[in-house]
């Protein structure tokens, strides 16, 4: 039944009940309304209003729940649905909204997967160009400076050595950027070695990273390992850039049927700030593998926790 006719039917039913009650009740109204008659009329009116409001609230309650869900829906936290009940217009609206959320989450997951795959491919291309072109160019500059330094006066040799040190530091920085863009150690040696290398890189920049991994972790597959690595990389980057952390604890452990990555720092915390693009990117990556990401206050700073479910039999 359409919602309009349902409301009309409810109101009509209430009026019929009120009319029947007044017709059958042994009460009358005098030309001059008495106090007792006024009390009966007021009670009858209150009863009609209450009955009407209860019936309408019961009928329209799914609409209120739908409005609240629409105000709070977040496609980065999928799975929220309204209970589907009834066969009327409201029930059809709720089922249609749930189906729309399902389609949006599916399409968003596909588009995010394509976007992240393209992003990884672009990172690999940039890393390869940094290594093959800029890295080789800087190496050639270092060799040329070394040859020049052997046939120049001592004063000029000192200046050339300073230029060499600058070029060598630049070459190391380019190599570090290339490794962060394309974690070759992840492909060659596995996730635990890649996390160890990542912790070493950040520890060399003034932030102490304590690493703890449980032995005998199951095989996760290249896609899951890449997501875990990128989430750990982004969490460490945020701790270094935004939280002024001195110590960060990085752990990867198995708990039941899940592998949990935890990154907790001793910095200033979120302090009520809105989530930035880095955290949004971590959430998008977590959705790709069906993992759950939580970001919130830790014991002293910010705690990032990624829960990756394992397949049956692992």
* pLDDT score recorded for residue 278: 82
Task: From 212, 19, 2, 230, select the one nearest 116 (Cα to Cα).
Answer: 230
d(CA 311, CA 314): 6
* pLDDT score recorded for residue 251: 92
Q: Mean pLDDT throughout 78-107? A: 74
pLDDT digit string (tens) for 44-72? 777 777 777 777 777 667 677 777 777 77
Instruction: Report which secondary-structure segment, H or E, holds 265.
Output: strand 258-265
15 pLDDT band, cuts 50/70/90, is confident
pLDDT digit string (tens) for 215-238? 778 888 888 888 898 899 888 888
Q: Which domains does the chain have, with CATH numbers?
A: 3-106 (no CATH), 185-314 (3.30.565.10)
Mean pLDDT of the chain: 78
Instruction: Report which secondary-structure segment, H or E, holds 306.
Output: strand 302-309
Residue scoring higher pLDDT (200 or 26): 200
The region, left, alpha or beta by phi > 0 then psi within -120 to 50, assigned to residue 190 is: left
pLDDT of 26 over the 90 cut: no
27 pLDDT band, cuts 50/70/90, is low
Q: Any idea what DSSP says for residue 204?
A: T
Which percentage of the chain shows pLDDT scores above 70? 81
181 pLDDT band, cuts 50/70/90, is confident
pLDDT digit string (tens) for 106-130? 777 777 777 777 777 787 788 778 7
* pLDDT score recorded for residue 307: 93
Phi, psi (rounded to 5 degrees) for 263: -130, 115
306 pLDDT band, cuts 50/70/90, is very high
d(CA 173, CA 134): 11
C-alpha dist (Å) from residue 132 to 90, 176, 275 = 62, 14, 36
Residue scoring higher pLDDT (143 or 8): 143
Residue scoring higher pLDDT (206 or 202): 202
Q: What angle do CA 140, 145, 150 make, to 5 degrees?
A: 135
pLDDT of 14 over the 60 cut: yes
Helices 191-203/222-241 angle, 10° precision: 10
pLDDT digit string (tens) for 233-271? 888 888 888 787 888 999 999 888 899 999 998 888 777
Phi, psi (rounded to 5 degrees) for 305: -135, 125
């Amino acid at each position: 039944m359409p919602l309009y006719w349902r409301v009309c039917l409810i109101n009509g039913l209430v009026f019929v009940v009120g009319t029947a009650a007044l017709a059958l009740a042994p009460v009358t109204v005098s030309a001059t309304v008495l106090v007792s008659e006024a009390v009966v009329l007021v009670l009858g009116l209150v009863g009609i209003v209450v009955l009407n409001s209860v019936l309408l609230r019961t009928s329209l309650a799914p609409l209120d729940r739908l409005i609240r869900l629409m105000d709070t829906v977040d496609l980065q936290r999928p799975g929220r649905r309204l209970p589907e009940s009834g066969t009327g217009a409201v029930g059809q609206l709720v089922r249609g909204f749930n189906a729309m959320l399902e389609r949006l989450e599916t399409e968003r997951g596909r588009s995010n997967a394509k976007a992240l795959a393209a992003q990884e491919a672009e990172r690999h291309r940039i890393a390869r160009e940094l290594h093959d072109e800029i890295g080789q160019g800087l190496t050639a500059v270092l060799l040329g400076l070394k040859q020049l330094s052997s046939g120049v006066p001592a004063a000029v040799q000192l200046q050339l050595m300073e230029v060499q040190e600058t070029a060598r530091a630049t070459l190391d920085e380019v190599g570090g950027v290339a490794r962060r863009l394309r974690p070759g150690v992840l492909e060659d040696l596995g996730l635990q070695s890649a996390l160890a290398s990542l912790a070493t890189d950040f520890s060399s920049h003034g932030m102490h990273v304590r690493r703890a991994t449980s032995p005998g972790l199951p095989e996760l597959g290249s896609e899951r390992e890449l997501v875990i690595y990128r989430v750990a990389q982004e969490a460490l980057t945020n701790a270094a850039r935004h939280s002024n952390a001195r110590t960060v604890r990085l752990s990867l452990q198995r708990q039941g049927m899940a592998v949990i990555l935890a990154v907790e720092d001793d910095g200033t915390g979120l302090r009520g700030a809105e989530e930035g693009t880095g955290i949004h990117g971590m959430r998008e990556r977590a959705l790709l593998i069906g993992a759950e990401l939580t970001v919130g206050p830790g014991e002293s700073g910010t705690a990032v926790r990624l829960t990756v479910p394992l397949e049956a039999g692992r």
